[in-house]
Chain A
Amino acid sequence: MISQFFVLSQRGDNIVFRDYRGEVPKGSAEIFFRKVKFWKEDGQEEAPPVFNVDGVNYFHVKVVGLLFVATTRVNVSPSLVLELLQRIARVIKDYLGILNEDSLRKNFVLVYELLDEVIDFGYVQTTSTELLKSYVFNEPIVVDAGRLQPLNPAAIFMQGTKRMPGTAVTKSVVANEPGGRKREEIFVDIIEKISVTFSSSGYILTSEIDGTIQMKSYLTGNPEIRLALNEDLSIGRGSGRSVYDYRSSYGSGAVILDDCNFHESVRLDSFDLDRTLTLVPPDGEFPVMNYRLTQEFKPPFRINTLIEEAGAVKAEVILKISAEFPSSITANTIAVQMPLPKYTTRATFELEPGAIGQTTDFKEANKRLEWGLKKIVGGSEHTLRAKLTFSQELHGNITKEAGPVSMTFTIPMYNASRLQVKYLQIAKKSNTYNPYRWVRYVTQANSYVARI
């Protein structure tokens, strides 16, 4: 049970403010914002998602730079409230198509309307976009998608790749297409976030894939859908022993999930038999299935780092990135970072000849090397040389003062786990009914780190 719900902009302005129970004093939004902004004087630690000030519990989640906040005096379940806040953001996004400060400000009356139905006297009534449709009457005012901040990994489909319809993920569930009629289509996105830690000698210390099969349906009449996954998919590695057992089955082709969970609309009647999920997708965006894998997989990038001392106050860093995926695939928005010794005063960079779309920077304030690459084609290799100058003489081991190297990237149409949607079957209404089906894969780095 919550007492208030509000959304604050990055500057701390109230965009939406709803008091459900009148138990928390009026200034709560300001108290909250001040606390979050100045959590620790040195600004080094960020405020946890839940904290208590004078007996009032504040919960918040950050979505596209906005703060979604709930307050209560009651000792409630924190995951319930945080889950709820996230869900409210999703419902609003389903309605507005695009969720950002601008769209919220333009549509705040609609948002109030939604909030009245989602929560009554602090208790959740429903968060189903589907059910809410019959109670909500405001039409969304659509904002320009041009200045869109990406809300989720699927948003990358809107950039560049022509195979994807540009407006799909930003379409409101209630607004009609400009043409007046709705397009029948359904999106299934397989989004994987990978975490890998390489030891200084290049061995994989830990690796994990956290995946989601996300669905967004614009099908009228809510037909039943069957989603078939790899037939050799198995779930649950032998419990008791370590799940990090690399001797198991790599290369045999089988996909072994450590564990997974499902959206409540999913029926698993035939899952054990043929790995098929059956569901009637509700309106709006939702995760069909979340899964986790620690089975060994081939990391898409190898990182080599070499640091050589070059005189008493100089050193050279050589960073090499090799893309170990097929050349038909291209990774984009790659960023490589490496903390340098505290006493570094200057860094000069040397890119390989003919390099295009690459940027380099030395962040003086936090002594960090940054290397950005627009794209990397599968099978290629890229190298960066950086000459460092120090303010003091080197003593001891320079590798103890620098690193680790971390990397972020996005690889469309690639998934490390090899989990696949074999087919997507829509219960047919008639012979002519043939909606668009989009099945899309994307892999992103979560924590991709190489120690030196």
Chain B
Amino acid sequence: MAPPAQSQRSPSPSQPSGKSEVTDLKTQLRQLAGSRAPGVDDSKRELFKKVISYMTIGIDVSSLFGEMVMCSATSDIVLKKMCYLYVGNYAKGNPELALLTINFLQRDCKDEDPMIRGLALRSLSSLRVENLVEYLVGPLGSGLKDNNSYVRMVAVMGVLKLYHISAATCVDADFPATLKHLMLHDPDTQVVANCLSALQEIWSSEASTSEEASREKETLISKPVIFYLLNRIKEFSEWAQCLLLELVAKYVPADSNEIFDIMNLLEDRLQHANGAVVLATIKVFLQLTLSMADVHQEVYERIKAPLLTLVSSGSPEQSYAVLSHLHLLVLRAPYIFSSDYKHFYCQYNEPSYVKKLKLEMLTAVANETNTYEIVTELCEYAANVDIPIARESIRAVGKIALQQYDVNAIVDRLLQFLEMEKDYVTAEALVLVKDLLRKYPQWSHDCIAVVGNISSKNVQEPKAKAALIWMLGEYSQDMNDAPYILEGLTENWDDEHSAEVRLHLLTAVMKCFFKRPPETQKALGAALAAGLADFHQDVHDRALFYYRLLQYNVSIAERVVNPPKQPVSVFADTHSSEIKDRIFDEFNSLSVVYQKPSYMFTDKEHRGPFEFSDELGNLSIGAEATNDVVRANRVEANDQDLLLSTSEKEESRGASNNGSAYSAPLYDASSVSAAASQAQSDSLISNLEVAGPQASFAIDDLLGLGLPAAPAPPPLKLNSRAVLDPATFQQKWRQLPISVSQEHSLNPQGVAALTAPQALLRHMQSHSIQCIASGGQSPNFKFFFFAQKAEESSIYLVECKINTSSAKAQITIKVDDQNTSQEFSTLFLSALSKFGFP
């Protein structure tokens, strides 16, 4: 029977929903279902193909479920496969119908052909229907014991699928233990690799509720497992090697011999043609050598050539992924790559996302020896037809100028940009010249001569216009017609759409007025009047402020508006060093490509293999975010691109460091992180106050407020000046088993006091419990604390999650010395319960 001609057209979404076609298919499938005529399989194949092609383009063919199942009684393996594909796609939405398939799938699971057994088992476990899991356990169990490796491979993934449908069924059947056994004993490496993937997923998700699972998860990165797998690594497929290397990167070797053994074993992986294998190997090398400065540097030298080769071979997409990683390394250790700068030159046919990375790399590696050539190259790009890249190139020149001591030649180039008479070039160059002058006021003479020639009419972009106006105000004594240009600009006040420009204009007119009062008086009057009438709140407020200030006292106004300036020495970095370190910890992941730590783009349960470091990372955010808000406010009020003076910068860094800094020492392993020392000094201060809160607590208690009585502190003494660097903390947290895990109710005072993480930090410090990382926002807070037993090295680690809306604290404690875990737990809880009392 000939199918309707119409449906032979190649399908495309522009076609209608295909209702009539589906009905047609239904009738035809019915007719074939019972038929045993010769050639019936071929007709079925054609029909099945059609069904699947509809499925692909999104037409709902689930109404054919019954007919498809009826037709599936066949020995034709191609038909079977198509049927499995169909069933897997629609079973979830049709649980009752899915039951129909169980029978024939179970029968196929016992087929004598291992291929059919495997396929059936895969389909059976892909049904994703919860009330059918009982039918799955039996076949999976025998699949794991099958003598054919294909079936075992499928069965292992089946176990993971079962876990996602019904975790309890999976655990009750003791499948994880079976997988662990297989992982360590199966001769087939793909079975082993699948076991590893499955166990990582299962135990990571179980670990939050089960101590045993979190211990099992730790054993995956124990020495016996790691070495067993490493010794077989060359038998694994390239993809499984990646999986394995990712695991090895988390392993903490006992001594340097182990480190060198692993590195020697993996050395030839750096010559693999698969970039994923090479990057995974590099991650292992970088992680292993973090604490060995000189070897770490050798690693950089060693990986340079393979990375460059990967960048230039393969598709543009693959080379982009590698280049992102190279970018990260270059920014971390620019001097190692400074002689390779020519590799970072842009090619005209590269996509702009590649060019942008390269420009940043060129900026980073510029030093005394190569700056001239790099800047020459960048100037070529400034004339580029690709305007966004031309702009980036000019900015790059500016950045290099700001980081160099010998800026002579660069300033000349920048000034040439101003003469190129291309709008966007002039705009970018103006912004740069402004920044440059803030750092090197000595160049003002040369720059002002050129800037003075630029007509403000040719500058339209707000940022550039603001920069020009800033210079007019700042250097009005050197520019003859500054007052008149400003006056002209003030006259066109209403045509100026950007509030930023109007703000700058107000300030510039003020500055000019202080230097050349008679010439500027008119412009000032006009500007203040226009500003006071401005609809923009900030402009209005600033105008009013200036007006009152002038009214009050002109010389004080000058001291406020135009004080003598310190040259700016350092740029405020866009990324804090904690964020950069976090990204480095997540090497060979999307974090590197996005240039963001994973907590910024992924929900908790999907962070994959970087779980722990993420928890810490998440925490540093709290402080980071507030810092950003503050900065944003400042920007609103003042310059868009704020250059902070050194002292200012240190201040803000100190603030964001509060208790959470993680400056992983790159080439300086011995340096104790700033945070730790800060915590130390803080604890000194708070120790002085210890008597305070305790005393007042006693008074509260006397007043009989009916509060839950805090348990009396046990005789465990803690070292009030305990110090622990974050890396050690992470390591210990990974290694140690959970000693105590419990939920604790908070008293209402504590909840009320916990408006920001910092409050609790100080409180716990007063009890000699230090915070290493904290974060979150109301109602969810999270803290990592540590403490050290007085006069002993024994360390206590605590993870404390607080939900203020439910007034509950979830506490997990890990300790070196198990004997004192209970005492410490009591002490910790008693300290916590006192939180919030004045």
Contact = CB atoms under 8 A, between A and B. Distances in A.
Interface of A: 1, 11, 13-17, 19, 21-22, 44-46, 48-50, 52, 55, 57, 60-62, 73-80, 82-86, 105, 108-109, 112-113, 116, 120-121, 123-128, 134-135, 137-138, 195, 197, 206, 208, 210, 212, 236, 239-244, 258-264, 287, 289-292, 339, 366, 396, 400-401, 404, 406, 446-447, 449, 451
Given A121-B160, A264-B272, A292-B313, A74 B49 contact: no
B246 A84 contact: no
Contacts of B56: 14-17, 108
B238 A241 contact: no
A366 B384 CA distance: 13
B82 A109 contact: yes
A242 B369 CA distance: 12
Nearest to B82: A109
A75 B608 contact: yes
Nearest to A242: B339
B293 interface: no
A84 B315 CA distance: 12
Contact of A48 (B312, B314, B320): B320
B606 to A, nearest CB: 4
Interface in B90-146: 92, 115, 122, 128
Contact of B380 (A125, A261, A451): A451
A446 B347 contact: yes
B160 to A, nearest CB: 6
B818 to A, nearest CB: 34
Given A74-B606, A264-B272, A258 B318 contact: no
A434 B381 CA distance: 55
A200 B590 CA distance: 40
Interface SS majority for chain B? helix
A82 B590 CA distance: 12
A55 B590 CA distance: 12
A346 B153 CA distance: 67
B322 A79 contact: yes
A79 B311 CA distance: 11
20 contacts: A17-B56, A45-B351, A46-B353, A50-B594, A55-B606, A73-B603, A74-B606, A75-B598, A79-B325, A85-B317, A109-B52, A120-B153, A124-B237, A195-B347, A242-B339, A261-B306, A287-B273, A400-B420, A404-B380, A406-B348
Identify the 6 closest CB pairs spanning chains A and B, nearest first: A447-B347, A49-B317, A259-B305, A80-B276, A124-B239, A290-B313
A78 B324 contact: yes
Given A82-B318, A82-B321, A137-B81, 5 more contacts: A79-B275, A79-B322, A84-B276, A86-B315, A287-B273
Nearest to B592: A78
B157 A123 contact: yes
A93 B321 CA distance: 23
A1 B197 contact: yes
A210 B13 contact: no
Interface in B326-349: 339-340, 342, 345, 347-349
A291 B420 CA distance: 41
A259 B593 contact: no
Contacts of B279: 77, 79
B271 interface: yes
Contacts of A451: 380
A105 B10 contact: yes
Interface stretch (B28-36, B385-393, B435-443, B716-724): B385-393
Contact of A50 (B306, B386, B590): B590
Contacts of B161: 121
A201 to B, nearest CB: 13
B52 A112 contact: yes
Contact of A120 (B122, B272, B304): B122
A372 B115 CA distance: 55
B383 interface: yes
Contact of B608 (A74, A79, A400): A74
Contacts of A401: 383
B194 interface: yes
Interface residues of B, number: 99
A339 B395 CA distance: 23
A171 B276 CA distance: 29
A75 B321 contact: no
Nearest to B600: A52
Contact of A404 (B58, B128, B348, B598): B348
A212 B273 CA distance: 10
B231 interface: no
Nearest to B274: A83
A160 to B, nearest CB: 25
Contacts of A138: 78
Most buried by A among B12, B128, B160, B301: B12
A72 to B, nearest CB: 8
B85 interface: yes
Contacts of B278: 261
Given A44-B387, A52-B594, A113-B81, A210 B312 contact: yes
Contacts of B588: 77, 79
Contacts of A446: 347, 349
B429 to A, nearest CB: 14
Contact of A75 (B313, B352, B589): B589
Nearest to A447: B347
A45 B388 CA distance: 9
B314 to A, nearest CB: 7
A110 to B, nearest CB: 9
Most buried by A among B316, B353, B607: B353
Contacts of A82: 315, 317-318, 320-321
Most buried by B among A120, A236, A241: A120
A55 B602 contact: yes
Contacts of B81: 112-113, 116, 137
Contacts of A447: 347-350
B309 A291 contact: yes
A135 B240 CA distance: 19
Contact of A127 (B157, B160, B239, B312): B239
Most buried by B among A52, A79, A83, A135: A79
A257 B280 CA distance: 24
Given A121-B157, A128-B237, A400-B420, A79 B345 contact: no
A36 to B, nearest CB: 12
A239 B154 CA distance: 47
Nearest to B245: A77
Contacts of A366: 385
Contacts of A261: 271-273, 278, 306, 309-310, 313
A126 B190 contact: yes
A262 B388 contact: no
Contacts of B608: 1, 74-76
A108 B52 contact: yes
B53 interface: yes
A362 B386 CA distance: 18
A297 to B, nearest CB: 15
Contact of B318 (A86, A112, A127): A86
Contact of B115 (A84, A120, A135, A195): A135
A108 B53 contact: yes
A1 to B, nearest CB: 7
Interface string B659-703: 000000000000000000000000000000000000000000000
B339 A116 contact: no
A290 to B, nearest CB: 4
A64 B524 CA distance: 64
B287 to A, nearest CB: 14
B606 A61 contact: no
B347 A262 contact: no
A125 B190 contact: yes
B484 interface: no
A239 to B, nearest CB: 6
Nearest to A112: B85
B372 interface: no
B77 A241 contact: no
Contacts of B316: 49
